[in-house]
Amino acid sequence: MQHDSIAVVDFGGQYAHLIATKVRRIGVHAVIRQPEDPLELFEGHKGIILSGSPALSSHGEDGDYTAGLLDRDTPMLGLCFGHQEIAKHYGGEVVHGGREWGKADLHIVKDHPLFKGLGPVEQVWMSHFDSVSALGEGFEELGYTTSHDGSPDHRFAAIGSDSLKRYGFQYHAEVDDTTNGDQMIGNFVLEICGATPSWTMEAFMEEEREKLRAQVGDESVFLLASGGVDSTVAAVVLKEALGSDRVNLLHVDNGMMRKDESANVLKLFERLGLGEHLNFVDASDDFLKALEGLVEPEAKRIAIGKTFVEVFAREAKRLGIEDHLLGQGTIYPDTVETGGTRRADTIKTHHNRVDVIERMIEEGKVVEPLAELYKVEVRELGETLGIAHEALWRHPFPGPGLGVRCLCSTGEPDTEDFDRLVPAATEAAAKFGLEALVLPIKSVGVKADLRAYEHPVLLSGDVPWETVLKAASSITAGILGINRCILNLGPEHPTVAHPVEGYMTRERLDLLREADHMVMEGLRRHGLYDEIWQCPTVLVPLALGDGEEGEMVVLRPIRSQRAMTATPVRFPDALLGELREGILGLEGVTGLAIDVTSKPPGTIEWE
Ligand code: XMP
């Protein structure tokens, strides 16, 4: 059957693929195109959507795409960078400034099909440095925004020209934090482009099965199976497509698993009928050796990824199946955050995207049935395959496991920018009735589609949760060099923090495992496990207070759908009380805090 389709032009924003997913969920096929693809590749589509980008439209960056692309006689919608490029192309002006991050209110000023079914004010989500400051002829303002951080109104948040069929949203309609973004994208696709929805998940699955059969041919697959949602669904998809005799599984204990995790995973695969071809290896010594003395997050991630491949190759040899293709449960965010699309920045190197695996992919030796999907779709696919709820709705757990939650330090404080950061953070926090302590370590985040390796700030004070969230968004948006805020849960208001030397050792991992176990048990006890999308527990080698010893634990409960954006979650007081008592009672832990940063600018994991 011939389906109507939309082309999504990937300018390298973190969410280009998310746009395509959203279009597909409306029931219209969507394909990703590169900006420099020849014009013929843009033919036959009902509409074109231009994505965001880490590039600055105001500086003319990345403006060298296929000539004539914007002049095509096809309806177009630009999002963020795409919006600015459309404005510029038709005589408008884009300036470096008018920065917004996080949620904002869109005030719709025109009754327009793009906003069919929506109210006069809609929550939208922003992440940009540049903005449109003037419109070209024939364009009109469809909406402006007011920000939640109290900054002045931002004009031209939504623009359009009905005669040209060109539209632009400064906000990211594709992320879940734009509450009715799906409806806005749907309105563009169905009302403006006139596409007919006929694309279903079943159609996608059917094609995926055929693709797998064609790719694998007569060969077999050896799948790295952590027991997480993705690798479990990947295992079942491969079994369905190829038959269980051609799918071998390898579960690796990398020493950075949760408490009792490997034993539980083995049981899970037995229950799924995948036990027969399951192999298990305890490779914790290999991983800890590879991580010895490492501190820098990317170095740690790369060491973990490489060790996975080494262990995989060794096990394949031991089992006499070296000729098998490497199977992985990679999902789309793993690729995009590693900078795996042509223009995207590397936010983090995911364990399944290190160089050696990239080379194997080029050689056609890697099979990844879920590489196009987001977590929410993986779960949907799992449900259609009849996989049990408990397996599908486990919290996501990253391949490098506790490795990205156990921060390491040489013991040297990182205070280079403190002359600027400390007064700025103190002043910004005081506006919300909070005290701020800039921490002399860094964690990974993402700002305007770029990796941000910056300082966290510890906030102390007794103000309502909503005020804490506002303070966090104001501090991280307003101060370059700060990407994360955490709220103190310990008894004192700490005024100094000093790093303690700590690397990836069994002892520290055991300590983190215990704290993590307490959090997971607490969530289950309070009936919150299913409500919360993910809750990393992080061990931070910082002692709070003068002359103190010990380390700090940070809780990171979040809500999300696709992991590309996330919102912090408040724990009930009773649970907080239990965790305070339990975690601060662990030997070696002297500080406790909860992360109150949305993603962006913080990422879900700290590294
Ligand atoms: P971040 O920290 O980038 O995480 O906001 C987004 C989601 O991805 C998970 N994550 C990983 N998953 N391999 C994985 O399989 C990795 O290297 C990796 N790094 C992060 C993270 O737990 C969250 O759900």
Residue to substitute in 231, 304, 348 for testing ligand 1 pocket (most ligand atoms within 8 angstroms of CB) = 348
**Separation of CA 73 and ligand 1 centre (Å):** 40
Q: Which of 332, 350, 378 for a ligand 1 pocket mutation test, highest count of atoms within 8 Å of Cβ?
A: 350
Q: Quick check: 200 pLDDT over 80?
A: no
Ligand 1 binding pocket includes 351 (Cβ within 6 Å):
yes
**Is 172 a catalytic site residue?**
yes
Q: Please, which residues have CB within 8 angstroms of residue 426's CB and are 6 or more apart in sequence?
A: 435, 436
pLDDT at 222: 97
In the structure, what pLDDT confidence band is assigned to residue 336 with cuts at 50, 70 and 90? Answer: low
599 in contact with ligand 1, CB cutoff 6 A: yes
- E strand or H helix at 186: helix 181-186
DSSP 8-state secondary structure symbol assigned to residue 352: G
pLDDT at 133: 97
Catalytic residue among 128, 172, 277, 350: 172
Using CB atoms within 10 Å of the CB of residue 543, give its burial: 0 to 12 exposed, 13 to 18 middle, 19+ buried.
Answer: buried
Report the separation in Å between the CA atom of 391 and the middle of ligand 1, taken as the mean of its atom positions.
18
Which of 329-333, 393-397, 510-514 bottoms out in mean pLDDT, i.e. has the lowest? Answer: 329-333
Give the atom of ligand 1 at the shortest distance from the alpha carbon of 566.
5
**pLDDT for 61-104, tens place per residue?**
888 898 899 999 999 999 999 999 999 999 999 999 998 888 89
Look at 12 and 581; give whichever has higher pLDDT: 581
Q: Ligand 1 centroid vs 416 CA: distance in angstroms?
A: 29
Same topology for domains 5-192 and 201-400, yes or no? yes
Task: Give the ligand 1 atom nearest the CA of 330.
Answer: 15
Q: C-alpha 165: how far from its chain's center?
A: 32
Decide whether any atom of ligand 1 lies within 6 Å of the 396 Cβ: yes
> Which residue in 245, 182, 222, 216 sits closest to 23, CA to CA?
182
**What is the arithmetic mean of pLDDT over 102-130?**
95
Would you say the CB of residue 336 lies under 6 angstroms from ligand 1?
no
Please count the other Cβ atoms lying within 10 Å of the Cβ belonging to residue 450.
15
Q: Is the pLDDT of residue 1 over 70?
A: no
Domain 5-192 has CATH 3.30.70.920: no
Amino acid at 457: V
Q: What is the pLDDT of residues 529-584, one digit of tens each?
A: 999 999 999 999 999 987 778 999 999 999 987 788 899 999 999 999 999 999 99
Residue of minimum CA distance from atom 7 in ligand 1: 563
The verdict on the CB of residue 5 being under 6 Å from ligand 1 is no
What does the domain layout of the chain look like in residue ranges? 5-192, 201-400, 418-595
Whether 52 lines ligand 1, by a CB cut-off of 6 Å, is no
Ligand 1 atom closest to residue 331's alpha carbon, by position in its atom list: 15
Q: Spot the catalytic one: 85, 100, 122, 174.
A: 174
* Atom 9 of ligand 1, residue of closest alpha carbon: 398
Residue-wise pLDDT for 238-294, tens only, equals: 999 999 999 999 999 999 999 999 999 999 899 888 899 999 999 999 999 999 999
CATH topology of domain 418-595: GMP Synthetase; Chain A, domain 3 (3.30.300)
334 Cβ below 6 A of ligand 1: yes
Q: What is the pLDDT of residue 339?
A: 62
Model confidence at 337, pLDDT cuts 50, 70, 90, reads low
Please, are residues 69 and 42 in contact by the beta-carbon 8 Å criterion? yes
pLDDT tens for residues 286-323?
Answer: 999 999 999 999 999 999 999 999 999 999 999 999 99
Which pLDDT does position 342 carry in this prediction? Answer: 58
| pLDDT tens digits, 463-475 | 999 999 999 999 9
Q: Is 174 a catalytic residue?
A: yes
Q: What are phi and psi of 352, to 5 degrees?
A: -95, 15
pLDDT, residue 449, reads: 78
Which one is catalytic: 80, 193, 406, 408? 80
Render pLDDT for 209-234 as a digit per residue (tens, 0 to 9).
999 999 999 999 999 999 999 999 99
For the residues of 518-577, what is the DSSP string, one character each? HHHHHHHHTT-TTTSSB--EEEE-EEESTT--SEEEEE--EE-SSSSSBEE-PPPHHHHH
Closest approach atom of ligand 1 to CA 348: 3
Q: Which range in 33-42, 214-223, 331-340 is most confidently predicted, on average pLDDT?
A: 214-223
Q: What percent of the chain has pLDDT over 70?
A: 98
- Per-residue burial over 88-112, b if 16 or more Cβ lie within 10 Å, else e, is bbbebebeeebbbbbbbbbebeeeb
Q: Calculate how far, in angstroms, residue 72's C-alpha sits from the geometric centre of ligand 1.
A: 38
Q: Does the beta carbon of 231 lie inside 6 Å of ligand 1?
A: no
**Strand 589-595 and strand 497-499: pairing?**
unpaired
pTM value is: 0.80
Answer for the pair 380, 204: CB distance below 8 angstroms, yes or no: no
Q: For ligand 1, what atom is nearest to the CA of residue 301?
A: 17
Q: How far is the CA of 334 from the centre of ligand 1 (A)?
A: 7
Residue nearest to atom 16 of ligand 1 (CA): 350
Percent of the chain scored above 90 by pLDDT? 78
- Phi and psi of 8, rounded to 5°? -110, 120
Name the residue with the closest Cα to ligand 1, atom 10: 398
Q: What mean pLDDT, rounded, does the chain reach?
A: 93
Both tokens assigned to 531: 């409500």
pLDDT for res 457: 98
Q: What is the topology classification, in CATH, of domain 201-400?
A: Rossmann fold (3.40.50)
Backbone angles phi, psi at 566, to 5 degrees: -155, 150
Please give the Cα distance from 545 to 59 (Å, whole number).
45
CA distance 310 to 356: 10
How many angstroms is it from 34 CA to the middle of ligand 1? 25
Question: Which stretches within 351-414 are classed as H helix?
Answer: 355-362, 375-384, 389-392
Cβ of 598 less than 6 Å from ligand 1: no
- The reply to whether ligand 1 has any atom less than 6 angstroms from the CB of 348 is yes
Q: Is the dihedral of CA 287, 291, 296, 299 positive or negative?
A: negative
**Phi–psi pair at 542, nearest 5 degrees:** -135, 130
Average pLDDT for 362-369: 95
Give the closest residue (by CA) to ligand 1 atom 11: 398
Mutation choice for ligand 1 from 232, 332, 337, 532, CB with most ligand atoms inside 8 A: 337
Residue 124's pLDDT is 97
Mutation to probe ligand 1, out of 338, 565, 605, 607 (largest number of atoms < 8 A from CB): 605
Q: How far apart are CA 165 and CA 139, in angstroms?
A: 10
